[in-house]
Amino acid sequence: MYDLNDFYYFHAVVTHQGFSAAARQVGVSKATLSKGVARLEDRLQVRLLERSTRRLRTTEVGREFYEQCQAMLAGAEAAEAVVAQAQAEPYGIVRMSCPQGLIQDMMADILPRFMRICPKVRVQLKVLNRRADLIEDGVDIALRAWTPLDAEASLITRSLGPTHMVLAMSPELRRTMGDRLTVERLSELPTLSMAEDSDDDSWELIGPGGQIRTIPHRPRLFCSNFDMLRAATVQGVGVALLPEHICWPCFESGELLHVLPEWHTKPGIIHVVFNTRKSLLPGVRALIDHLAREITRKVSEPHVDRLDEISSATALIDHHAAE
């Protein structure tokens, strides 16, 4: 009878592209992995891996065998999930990645609320300002924004809602602008930018009728941290292009003005991606459902109701500034 650990060891070696990397991930020695793969090859009477001192690759039959091992392991996880789902509460650890821009004012509220609702779930949150890879980064769930929806066959993508970046400025700075605040003259104003690797930047804005303008500018402050950009904007250092969900509380409090509200960036999509498994573990599923419910609410709720009111207040300040 086959030792199912040997199938698992072979899968780990291929997944992590080597015996050393697999040993670190699985927590067994390279020798144990090597013996397990050798036993498989002896029993099957076929070569599954081609080895050299510098590289390792699967043979043609090895690739097909690896796919079957994936299905087998997914089945084992599904069997465990059946038992886990019988539990009254989700539990265990969920590993999630999230871009830094979604942490402020959104996840900082949503995630602690989830952990109060599901006290037996532990969450490991990785803040990544790049596109997360579920396997290489070791996460169950990846939140993404400002990127096209993923079309990878191995992933499920769940759209949570649209978001875009808007122009923000302090009331004090707006009063000094007079009649200069037009999209054509944005390049003349002091600006703030999230770019960090260039002396110059440009904003691509979409306006009335779908017209597109590219606004070159020379920022006073370059910083990828949205908290810093928002604080500098509030203090009147310059006009900034910020994610709507980050500056909206300041629009409502009056600390910032939503200027040129008819101009904004092309809408992006906030979405969550996870593996295409037939049965997700309860903690993972519970967090995905919570994110879908809460993020969708945050990106859709007070904005529509308050947009006219805030835009009217901004227009009144613009009128006085131009006089």
Transcribe 133-196 into DSSP letters.
Answer: -TTTTT-SEEEE-SSPPP--TTEEEEEEEEE-EEEEE-HHHHHHHGGG-SGGGGGGS-EEES--
pLDDT, averaged across the chain: 83
For 266-315, the pLDDT digits (tens) are 888 888 989 865 567 888 989 999 999 998 887 775 454 444 444 444 44
The rounded percent of the chain whose pLDDT value lies above 70 is 85
Mean pLDDT of 50-65: 86
pLDDT of residue 82: 67
pLDDT band, residue 151 (cuts 50/70/90): low
Domain 165-266, CATH 3.40.250.10 — does that match?
A: no
Would you state the pLDDT for residue 156? 85
Q: What is the pLDDT of residue 150?
A: 55
Mean pLDDT, residues 18-47 taken together: 90
- Assess whether pLDDT exceeds 70 at residue 251: yes
Domain boundaries, the chain: 4-85, 92-162+268-302, 165-266
Contact 158, 284 (CB under 8 A): no
Pick the range with the lowest mean pLDDT from 55-59, 116-120, 193-197.
Answer: 193-197
- Answering whether pTM is above 0.95, one says no
pLDDT of residue 190: 92
Neighbours of 204 (CB within 10 A): 11
Residue 322's pLDDT band (cuts 50, 70, 90): very low
pLDDT at residue 103 is higher than 70: yes
Higher pLDDT, 100 or 250: 250
Are the beta carbons of 98 and 129 closer than 8 angstroms?
no
Q: What's the alpha-carbon Rg for the chain, to the nearest Å? A: 26
Give, in words, the CATH class of 92-162+268-302: alpha beta
Instruction: Specify the pLDDT at position 149.
Output: 60
Sign of the dihedral defined by the CA atoms of residues 15, 18, 22, 24, in that order: negative
Higher pLDDT, 108 or 260: 260
Fold matches, 92-162+268-302 and 165-266: yes
pLDDT of residue 105: 67
What is the topology classification, in CATH, of domain 4-85?
Answer: Arc Repressor Mutant, subunit A (1.10.10)
The arithmetic mean of pLDDT across residues 252-262, rounded, is 92
**Residue 314: which of 266, 247, 265 has the closest Cα?**
247
